[in-house]
Amino acid sequence: MADAENKSAGIAESKSAGIRDLGYARYDGPRLPPRRRYAVLAKQHLALFWRGGLVKAVLIVGMLPLLICAVVMYFKLQAAKALAASSFKYNLGSPPEQWIYNCVYWCQLWFGFAMSMLVAAPAISDDVRTGAFHFYFARPVSKSHYAVGKLIAISTLIAVLAAGPGFLLGVMRLSLASGSDDALKSLPILLAVLMYALLFAGTLTLPALALSSLTSKTGHVMGGWAALFFLPWPLGEATASTADMPYVALISLPTDLRLVAQWLFGVTPSYDVPVAAPLGVLLAVCFGSALVLRARLEKVEVFA
């Protein structure tokens, strides 16, 4: 009897107190300017990518070729100084600057592609599969904010793999210069590293994002991106060498990157083609990928 009275008293008390409304209330406070939302989304995507252990591993292991190339270049520069001070003549082979090209292109190409597979290939397909578009676009975020934020975050991770070792080797080359004339001659290396890193990041980011926007199956995106990147490489190189048709080699993105890198770093090109040809192919691929990405995002429907 006492329990029943206590229960009825509790119900009466809760009714008198009322029910607290915990429903959705629209936010009417100040908002970030639209231009600042790009940086916010890029920072958010970088934080999400950085949580992955494989991303950290690729960045760390990707710096190991820097140590090898730095040691080789150091001894070459020291040997060049010693030979210049003596009357002994000896051919040191490739110049020290070529080791910057070797590191930035041949070594970092693989790590850059690995990073592209980890963060660019699943970037949009995972959002389609998990329904994350509703999370992004329910906020004052446009589709351009979403796409540019992804592009900045992924490009930054890939560009670091090329620009980091390249800049450090370039600074080392300047610090070991034999004189002011030698240092001035080596100064354009830093600009070459910057230009190549931007092109490298765009080439490994935009096509992968475009493919990622075509399907929600990440495995298909990874397989398609690997096939698109690597299969034309031996085919184009073999045809160009056997049939003496150097322009056929331009069907390969790695070959295009190599020819542009050779031009930037002053290395003898693999094929006798103007640098505008591989550069034009890379820019066309990036521009076409951006159009595909834009068209696919325009078709996304989000129901609030």
pLDDT tens track for 139-153:
678 889 999 999 999
How big is the chain by its Cα radius of gyration, in Å?
27
**Position 241 pLDDT exceeds 70:** yes
pLDDT level of residue 99 (50, 70, 90 thresholds): confident
H/E element, 124: none
pLDDT number for residue 92: 57
pLDDT number for residue 133: 78
**Position 11 pLDDT exceeds 70:** no
CA distance 223 to 99: 32
Q: Write down the residue that tokens 């935009």 correspond to.
A: 206
Exposure string of 222-240, with b = 16+ CB inside 10 Å and e = fewer, is bebbeeebeebbeebbebb
CA distance 49 to 57: 12
Q: Provide the mean pLDDT of the chain.
A: 87
CA distance 151 to 144: 10
CA distance 212 to 124: 5
pLDDT number for residue 30: 72
- Residue 250 in 3-state DSSP? helix
pLDDT level of residue 134 (50, 70, 90 thresholds): confident
CA distance 158 to 154: 6
Query: What is the length of the chain?
Result: 304
**Position 165 pLDDT exceeds 60:** yes
Neighbours of 16 (CB within 10 A): 7
Contact 24, 135 (CB under 8 A): no
pLDDT level of residue 301 (50, 70, 90 thresholds): confident
pLDDT tens track for 186-202:
899 999 999 999 999 99
Neighbours of 199 (CB within 10 A): 21
Contact 261, 199 (CB under 8 A): no
pLDDT level of residue 88 (50, 70, 90 thresholds): low
**Position 5 pLDDT exceeds 70:** no
**Position 3 pLDDT exceeds 80:** no
pLDDT tens track for 258-287:
999 999 999 999 999 999 999 999 999 999
pLDDT number for residue 4: 52
**Position 13 pLDDT exceeds 90:** no
Domain map of the chain by residue range? 34-298
